[in-house]
């Protein structure tokens, strides 16, 4: 049993079954998520017998580092993990220069929620590899803990977490939310809800379910096209949930939460980066509390499209903003280390 799969009440009940006092659960919880211990031997406030039980009965190491790559500028690290059943997943740490406006010194983690992905987006390396399995909540949490410990060694901390790595978070809804609840717990890691972002291809029923829970977690929609024909070619999920259904779910989300929706837009040269597309997108989004994050496409071996250039990206942004929709052009990160989701796992 993986220690990170246990919430605090479950851990408390487990210790009571072991004839241990309930308060020990809180000590273990704080050791895991405040002190960032990753071995029973580090829990020196516990008895030797309890540390032995933890060693024998619970697993503290669900991830094995297979390899990691650092970008040439030293700002991005991508880690390929092997799960205990041999499946591979990836996580990325992105640092932002505190001396620039973009990112303002953030240390953002891009976390996987599945091994592979069932959504089949043609420009995404994870979509090209297909679906293997859902991650447990603990396997999701363990990725964060790995980087939290690495940053702690530098007297730094994670500032933002995006569920934007391998997999569709809303396809693995319960485990993704359980991971967020664990990381958000005030007695543990205490990571603020507004510093999480969930990125989805647009599973409309899950967006509405998420809206009904009224969480303070940020919502991002991978959009990438303004008409159903084009979006189906890029993102097969659009056969199930048309653009109109996705936007209706987003309207519901805003009405329920009063929170802004972010739309992600991978700028593909000559496909979705023209002023005409920007004007159509502005028309689609007008009246919705939202923001567009556009980023030139990260190249993948299985997709022939190329990322747009700087001039076309700026024109797209200017056209969109002229239509009343705020837009930010994000810089691509880690191109030299294949930092787009799924690229290292596919290669390996």
Residues labelled as active-site residues: 90, 341
218 DSSP β-pair partners: 197
- Rounded-to-integer distance, Cα 167 and Cα 155, Å: 31
Q: Which residues contact 205 (CB under 8 A, 6 or more apart)?
A: 249
Report DSSP letters for 60-101, one per residue.
Answer: S--EEEEEEEE-TTSSEEEEEEEETTS-EEEEEEEE--TTSS
Q: Which residues contact 70 (CB under 8 A, 6 or more apart)?
A: 76, 77, 337
- The first and second tokens of residue 86, run together, are 């041999």
Strand pairing of 196-200 and 290-296?
unpaired
Nearest to 237 by CA among 222, 259, 253: 222
């Amino acid at each position: 049993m993986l220690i990170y799969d246990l919430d605090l009440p479950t851990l408390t009940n487990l210790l009571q079954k072991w004839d241990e006092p309930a308060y020990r659960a809180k000590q273990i919880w704080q050791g895991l998520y405040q002190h960032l211990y990753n071995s029973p031997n580090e829990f020196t406030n516990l008895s030797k017998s309890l540390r032995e039980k933890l060693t024998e009965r619970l697993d503290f190491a669900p991830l094995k580092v297979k390899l990691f790559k650092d970008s040439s500028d030293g700002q991005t690290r991508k880690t390929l993990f092997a799960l205990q059943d041999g499946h591979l997943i990836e996580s990325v740490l992105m640092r932002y220069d505190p001396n620039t406006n973009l990112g303002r010194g953030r240390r953002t983690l891009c976390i996987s929620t599945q091994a592979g992905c069932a959504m089949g987006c043609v420009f995404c390396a994870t979509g090209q590899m297909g679906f293997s399995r859902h991650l447990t909540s603990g396997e999701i949490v363990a990725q964060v803990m790995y980087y939290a410990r690495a940053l702690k060694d530098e007297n730094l901390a994670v500032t933002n977490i995006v569920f934007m790595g391998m997999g569709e978070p809303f396809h693995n809804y319960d485990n993704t939310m359980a991971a967020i609840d664990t990381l958000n717990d005030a007695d543990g890691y205490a990571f603020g809800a507004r510093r999480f972002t969930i990125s989805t291809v647009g599973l409309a029923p899950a967006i509405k379910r998420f809206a009904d829970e009224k969480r303070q977690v940020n919502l991002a929609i991978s959009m990438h096209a303004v008409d159903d024909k084009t979006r189906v070619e890029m993102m097969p999920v659009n056969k199930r949930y048309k653009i109109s259904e996705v936007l209706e779910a987003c309207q519901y989300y805003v009405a329920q939460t009063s929170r802004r929706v972010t739309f992600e837009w991978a700028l593909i040269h000559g496909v979705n980066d023209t002023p005409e597309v920007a004007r159509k997108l502005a028309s689609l989004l007008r009246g919705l509390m939202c923001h567009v994050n556009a980023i030139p496409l990260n190249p993948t071996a299985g997709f022939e499209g190329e990322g747009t250039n700087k001039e076309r990206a700026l024109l797209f942004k200017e056209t969109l903003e002229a239509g009343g929709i705020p837009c930010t052009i994000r810089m691509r990160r880690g191109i030299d280390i294949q930092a787009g989701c799924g690229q290292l796992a596919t290669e390996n």
